[in-house]
Structure 1
Amino acid sequence: MTTDKIAHATILLVDDDPSTLLLASKPLQDQGYTVLQAPGSAEALRLYAEHPRPIHLVVTDIFLPPPGFQLSVEKNPYPRVNGLEMVERLLDKKRDIRIILMSSTPGPDLQSRGLIREGLPFLKKPFTSDALLTLIRDTLAGPPATQGPTKPSAPGKGEVEWVD
């Protein structure tokens, strides 16, 4: 992204903790970013699909509220899924998006469990405003996230898929 676009980027923050949304939004707004907030994946997917202007960066918690039970014949286009599944759905819709994953669990622990997507920046919570702003600037200036498999290609090997 160009320097001008970086300065006026729209950022979607996704976290079920209202204090994290508040603490992350304030310094971003102070720097001139447009900040959108979503408390879960369903709200984030809907906002991403329906927002009238481009969303340049998504900063999401990896652990989001679990799916709820739903009786419906139709498939829900905006289901409650974990942060990684939400990232995959966003990448399926738009390939030139930038994404930052965040969690209070250390990155190496997440990697050892296969819960972090390679190639995506990671922000450990709690974080400082400076750490957040630096990572956001670097991510916006860098290349977009790439699409690629994050799950084993053979289904049914002990993985559970939530359907909403």
Structure 2
Amino acid sequence: MPGDYVLLSVSDDGCGMDRETISHLFEPFFTTKELGKGTGLGLATVYGIVHQNNGFITVESSPGRGSTFRIFLPRLSGPPTEGSAVEQVPLRGSETVLLVEDEASILELGKMLLEELGYQVLAAGGAMEALELAERNPQPIHLLLTDVVMPRMNGPELASRLALLRPRMRCLYMSGYAEGLADRGLSREMNYLRKPFTMTDLSRKVREVLDRRD
């Protein structure tokens, strides 16, 4: 595509991919990993984020020779528009949040952001750990903030199980692939936070769900 772009290139020296695998690479829920080892949403999420920002991504790979991903993002020119660098003030709280995310780096980041906003955080790396935390912690849990797609038990299934233990607990789903929500029995009108999100996005959505009158 013609234009002025910034290039981000990432390469590895792994096993590489054949043409058939590459043709499905950015499809949601496609994965070459063993059952329970991956969700197949990582590259679909990357693809969505790049296209949201008017960019594109290319892949070069062959079996036994590794892979190279190139991300092209439009280069901005001229001064920033007024207010573009002004971040809205995050909304704070003090409630207890049960955070469930199977990606360790995202779990740690989410915990850090929520604690920075003043919340008490119970962090779980999966649905089974979340159930154990809910069962053994006597204090009220005000909000379940969970990823939608996880191994063994997905977010909606976890929410249904936890509703039996904590019927007054609110629920907020997060996902990097909005188009896959319908396949999981969800809609965009439900309590939903799209990845990636800023601290302000997170703070406002959490308060929206917690402060809503049923």
TM-score by structure 2 length? 0.53
Superposed, 1:37-52 pairs within 5 Å as 37-52=123-138
Aligned residue pair count: 123
2:192 to 122, 134, 158: 122
State the alpha-carbon separation in 2 of the partners of residues 114 and 27 from structure 1.
Answer: 27
Unaligned runs of 5+ in 1: 1-5, 67-80, 145-164
Aligned to 1:60: 146
Q: How does 1:96-115 map to 2 (within 5 A)?
A: 96-106=168-178, 108-111=179-182, 113-115=183-185
SS across alignment from 1:23: helix
Question: Who is 2:164 aligned against?
Answer: 92
Residues 97, 119 of structure 1: CA spacing in aligned structure 2 closer, same or farther, 3 A cutoff? farther
In the alignment, is the contact (CA less than 8 A) between 1:84 and 1:117 conserved in 2? no
Q: Which sections of structure 2, spanning at least 5 residues, go unmatched?
A: 1-91
Distance, in Å, in 1 between the alignment partners of 2:208 and 2:119 is 14
Deviant stretches of 4+, over 4 Å: none
Q: Cα offset for 1:35? A: 0.8
User: CA offsets, 1:113-152, max 9 Å, x none?
Assistant: 24316864101111111101110111111146xxxxxxxx
| In structure 2, C-alpha distance between the alignment counterparts of 1:30 and 1:50, rounded to whole Å | 25
- Match of 2:97, SS state, is strand
Query: C-alpha distance in 2, partners of 1:125/1:7?
Result: 21
Question: Does residue 142 of the first structure (1) align with residue 212 of the second (2)?
Answer: yes
Q: Does 1 or 2 have the higher relative contact order (CA < 8 Å, sep 6+)? A: 1
Counterpart contact for 1:56–1:97, Cα < 8 Å: yes
